[in-house]
Amino acid sequence: MELKSQNDTWKPRIVAFFCNWCTYTAADLAGVSRIKHEPNVRVIRVMCSGRVDPQFVIDAFVKGADGVLIGGCHIGDCHYIDGNHKTIRRFAMLKRILKDMGIEDERFRLEWISASEGEKVKTVTNDMVEKLEKLGPLGLPKKFIAWDEEMNHLELEISKPKEEIEHV
Ligand code: FES
Q: pTM of the prediction?
A: 0.81
Query: Which residue, 12, 19, 38, 31, is CA-closest to 111?
Result: 19
Region 8-36 average pLDDT: 82
Distance of alpha carbon 165 from alpha carbon 49, whole angstroms: 51
Which atom of ligand 1 sits closest to the CA of residue 79?
1
Whether pLDDT at 165 is above 50: yes
- Give tens-digit pLDDT for 120-160: 998 899 899 999 999 999 988 777 777 778 888 888 888 87
6 against 125, higher pLDDT: 125
- Extract the runs of DSSP E, i.e. beta strands, from 37-166: 41-46, 67-72, 108-112
Which of 17, 18, 45, 48 has most ligand 1 atoms within 8 Å of its beta carbon, as the pocket-test mutant? 48
